[in-house]
Amino acid sequence: MIDLGAKKCVPCKMMAPIMEKMERVYKGKAAIVFIDVWENPKQAKRFKIRGIPTQIFFNEKREEVDRHLGFMGEAAIITQLKKMGVSLPKTKDGKES
């Protein structure tokens, strides 16, 4: 998953702690990446960004499978990852974290 936004954009700032948590939770299961398109404008063109934040989900073949424009909450990100077959890691008691 790539989140394309900017560190100074209000909805992007709201997503920052969610993205940090998703990166920790899914470490080793899914790549969660943030790209600041104001600092890296070539990436905005590369991914054809029309507005920020934009989240793009890729499968294991690096093919785009879903795209979302605007703030995306934790539950929606988890739901999309589950649709793609990426489940939450299990806790010590065997439940999803």
What CATH number has the domain bearing residue 9?
A: 3.40.30.10
Q: What is the total count of domains within the chain?
A: 1
Domain-embedded: residue 78: yes
Residue 54 lies in a domain: yes
Asked if the structure places residue 88 within a domain, the reply is no
Whether the per-residue pLDDT at 31 is higher than 70: the answer is: yes
65-74 pLDDT tens trace: 999 999 999 9
Instruction: Say whether pLDDT at 39 is over 60.
Output: yes
- Reported confidence tier of residue 62, pLDDT bands at 50, 70, 90: very high
What are the catalytic residues? Answer: 9, 12
pLDDT band for position 92 (cuts 50, 70, 90): low
| Cβ neighbours of 63 (radius 10 Å) | 8
Residue span of the structural domain in which 52 resides: 2-83
pTM score: 0.88
